[in-house]
Chain A
Amino acid sequence: MTKKEIKKEVFFVIIFLLIFVLAFTALTLLYYPKRSPEDSTGNLSNGIYLEDENSIDVLLVGSCNMYTSFNPLFFYENTGITSYDRTCPDQNMISSYYYIEETLKRQTPKVVVVDSLFVGDKDTDEREAYNRCAVDFMRPNLSKLGLINALSKYESAYMQSINPSNPSKALTWAGYVFPLLRYHHRMDFKKEDLTFFLDYTGYNYHKGSESHSNYNNINFEYDFVNNSTEVREDAKEYVPKIIKLCKEKNIPLIFINTPNKYRWNDTLTSAVKNYIESQGGTFLDLYHEYGDMLSHDYYFESNTGRLNVYGMEVFTERLGSYLVEKFSLKPTPMSDAKKAQWQSDINTLYAKMKEEGAPLEDGQLAQVCNKDDSILVRWNLFKDCKNYELYKRSGAEKEYTLLGKIDGNDYYDKAVKEGEEYSYYIVPCEGAHKGEKSEEASYVFVEKPKEVTATRHGEEITVTFAKEKKYDSFSVERRKYGDFRFFDLATVEDVEYKDTALKEDTVYFYRVMNCIEKDGKTYYSDGTACKEN
């Protein structure tokens, strides 16, 4: 080849590669799953990029236990101090380290708080999915590359120990650097994929936190027991790094745990505490310190064992007071425009809470639902009242009758007939609110399915829940082993349901509820659950 020919060929190779890069980038943007900035599996905490430099006084990093426990908006409302939850689901110590490292390049917080659940909590087969939450919406920089390198090492080793055909370290790494290699199999394209083609990050009014207004659902049959007792290998490498980094930057650092119904226990707390302290770190055991919260069901969101927005208020107030006192934090001077923005965010939060429709005021009925062969009535206690009169009437009756004087906050009403609607209210017997009638709440009693079976035939599972169609419809829910809750699957009119959306190597559980339609409203029985066979 002559020099001229070589030059010409090199030119065309460069053009070829440029077109390839452009097409690859466009496809990456198209295939990237677009998630809401308010979704914890999306860029929940990456709104921090849109915060002003050096505007965050308290930096909190960690898993869902952090972003559902500490709410920067409540903290600001109480103290005028700014904070941010740089969090993501199941955030391990590797992600915590690189999140801190990246954030400290733009922010100078006066204290860093680290949720230490994943110092000890075991890895799960969803590790890769959670790591994705940590990496996907980070901006390209050296911290992101460091995080990818570190995650690839631990993740591929762990995932291959589960299934040797899981991606190798190189493919794992490449999948993070070039997300198209990870998401190439996507076929569920939606309108959002084009709408947010170029911009899928957004301002997060929640400051990285996520609040849920629902209650702990006592119907939940949960088989998860956290038997983690040892410190994880990745934590052994990255907890010392976190401590060292904060020391170098001269920023106080504390590791905490949070009140959680399932994830923390005494053994795990001791193991984590001992390890962190052996590395010269400070550990604050809030699982035990705020243990009184564990006895309040209405502080916990349904099924997950994490705090709901009301528990979050209490937790933020308590931890916030501790931080203010311990580190002598002062309200942040800021412009009026900035103050207005924070106030607007707080208003948005309260509007959301209201929209979610859980008033949860003391002395009000909190839950009226079917439980086994009865209707369960629950209410929130006034602090100065333990005894309540409970009144009931059936749909056919005009007047309420007194069911009795109840010591506590719930009652199982077994005197119910299928298809009949019942209404209830309570009246406090003592205290400042004595004699104040609560609002009324009604429900229709529906018997739960007697037996539910789920039988797998190759690529589908047939869920059978009745011999004959006696109800208007049936609500079918599903979860896989390890899930914290059942998820809605379908509402069907037939007495069986064929589930074909199955993943490989996954064991499924189903829960079915009988449903009755009345006056345009659907009433659900208690659920009957089963495991596939």
Chain B
Amino acid sequence: MAFNTIEFLLFFFVFFALYYIFPQKARNVLLLAGSLFFYATNSLPLSLYIILAIISTYILGLLIQKNSQSKKACNALLSVGVVALVAALAVFKYTNFFIRGFNSIFSKDVSQFNIIAPLGISFITFSAISYLVDVKREKVIAEKNILKYALFLSFFPKVMQGPIEKASDIIPQFEKEHKFQLIPAREGFVTALFGLFMKMAVADRIAIPVNEIFGSLSEQTGARIIAGVFLFAVQLYADFAGYSLIAIGSSQILGFNIKQNFRQPYFSLSVSEFWRRWHISLNTWLKDYIYIPLGGSRCSKARKYFNVMVTFLVSGFWHGADVGYIIWGGLNGAYVVGENVYRDIRKKKEPAKANAFLNFLMQAKTFILVGFSWLFFRAQTAEDIALSFKQIFTNFGLKNYLDYLINLVVGKSHDALLGYLVTGFCTFIMIVADILITNKKISAGKIAQGNRFLRWIILYALIFMIILLGAYGFGYNASSFIYDRF
């Protein structure tokens, strides 16, 4: 049940009504029942995974705390938990990757398996690992109430694609009373609506040309592939940031606060800054549980660069079992290391905001560098990556592409032109909103508390833009959220 479906809308509406009708004491039970129902609508048999994950890590958390005096026992218990979680992740996500690797290295033909991974397995794995590590580090007390612990892992707004919340941030919220509060609920509604707009009117519209280009790479010219890569950069942002806003907004309506996962990352002045503003919860997790344990930046420069590279490679591998993700991770690691080396040599700090033009150039540079890396992320397989580069270097076809664009404007395909104009308009709205949010001119909170007339105009505009301009139903190949599969 994806967030951009009628089914979710109905589910959430009914759940919202029940949630505030139910007495306070019963609300966590309802929340867990709703979360497990939400999870089971994806696949009932695979729901067993999350139940096993909840029970096993709940017990392990208690055991780690109980044996906190014995470092050896704690480490052993933590290792059992981490190995079990990573092993499950490996089986579901990486089995075929290793088979393909084995076949390729040893020229064998071992059949791949038709494996469907449980919903949000990567997010659940990281959340559970962070919990066990934090219990072991005594940063968090092991949760005795299994209901609250189960909600930590399965809370439906975040179970599919995060954000990856820390136990210390979310579990205390299950202990609080949640009375209906008008202003936060309004704020959540605005946030979720804007997320839905980003997903349906921007990401899913851009997905149409992107899917076409990457679905038939051998027929595309290099110019079209490059256009496709940068369109994908926008699509991925609108898709994943849109999802995160729906998760944050729907949580807020129910009285929960989930941390921001994106802070207008394409306005970053450097790649390093980009990674502090993109998928914040994952990058915070990687920093806390990979980068810092490796030594972080409090070591030699060479070691620090090594730590950065390892962290980004883990990020790439976490995203998927294909060469493309690993190259993507490595490339971004190299960008960040490069920036660090440059700054270390020039003894400069990270670029701060300068004049508007210089900022724009820096932002453009960051967008181009990050955008290029998405080529590997989107193409995924070694074959498609090689094909993309082959087309770029041997069949660039700039004139052909310009002719196509000119024909689009002056030719007779008005429907196609209108389609692109609508997509451009929706993207423009998203960018303007991002600029206003960055400059603190507008926020969901301000809209929720501000003038009713203005609020209604914004709400109606968002609702009708989603209904009229959203890519859904017949005529569109509705896209699932891209991060569903991670």
Contacts and interface: CB of A to CB of B under 8 A. Distances in A.
Interface residues of B, number: 39
Interface stretch (B101-109, B259-267, B355-363, B463-471): B463-471
Interface stretch (B3-11, B118-126, B286-294): B3-11
B474 A9 contact: no
Contacts of A198: none
A181 B473 contact: yes
Nearest to A181: B473
Nearest to B209: A459
A20 B182 contact: no
B477 A165 contact: yes
Interface string A1-25: 1000000010010001001100110
Nearest to B2: A168
A166 B476 CA distance: 8
Contacts of A19: 456, 460
Contacts of A181: 467, 472-473
B413 A184 contact: no
A171 B5 contact: yes
A20 B456 CA distance: 10
A128 B475 CA distance: 11
Contacts, number: 79
Nearest to A457: B219
Nearest to B413: A500
B252 interface: no
A458 B220 contact: yes
A175 interface: yes
Contact of B474 (A20, A24, A167): A167
Given A187-B415, A500-B411, A170 B463 contact: no
Contacts of B404: 458-459
A20 B460 contact: yes
Contacts of A182: 473-474
A459 B415 CA distance: 13
Contacts of B348: none
B454 interface: no
Contacts of B469: 184
A368 B479 CA distance: 53
B168 interface: no
Nearest to B470: A184
B399 to A, nearest CB: 14
B152 to A, nearest CB: 30
A501 B413 contact: yes
Contact of A128 (B460, B467, B474, B478): B474
Interface in B88-126: none
Interface residues of A, number: 32
A503 to B, nearest CB: 9
A281 B478 CA distance: 43
Contacts of B473: 167, 171, 175, 181-182, 184-185
A168 B182 contact: no
A504 interface: yes
Given A1-B182, A27-B464, A500-B411, A166 B474 contact: yes
B416 interface: yes
A171 B6 CA distance: 6
B478 A23 contact: no
A292 interface: no
A171 B470 CA distance: 14
A45 B474 CA distance: 25
Nearest to B459: A16
B415 A171 contact: no
A175 to B, nearest CB: 6
A170 B5 contact: yes
B182 A187 contact: no
Given A1-B182, A167-B473, A174-B6, A188 B415 contact: yes
B6 A168 contact: yes
Nearest to B412: A500
Interface in A149-195: 163, 165-168, 170-171, 174-175, 180-182, 184-185, 187-188
B418 interface: yes
Given A185-B473, A188-B415, A504-B477, A27 B468 contact: yes
B298 interface: no
Contacts of B224: 458
Nearest to B478: A165
B472 A16 contact: no
Contacts of B6: 168, 170-171, 174
Nearest to B472: A171
Among A16, A182, A184, the one with the most B-chain Cβ atoms within 10 Å of its Cβ is: A184
Contacts of B452: 12
B407 interface: yes
Contacts of A171: 5-6, 472-473
Nearest to A500: B413
Interface string B438-482: 000000000000001000100110011001111111111111000
Given A170-B6, A500-B407, A23 B477 contact: no
Closest 7 CB pairs of A and B: A500-B413, A170-B6, A165-B477, A187-B418, A184-B468, A170-B7, A185-B475
7 contacts: A12-B452, A27-B467, A165-B477, A166-B474, A187-B419, A457-B219, A500-B412
Given A128-B474, A166-B474, A170-B5, 12 more contacts: A19-B456, A23-B460, A168-B5, A168-B6, A168-B7, A171-B472, A175-B473, A184-B468, A457-B219, A458-B219, A500-B412, A501-B415
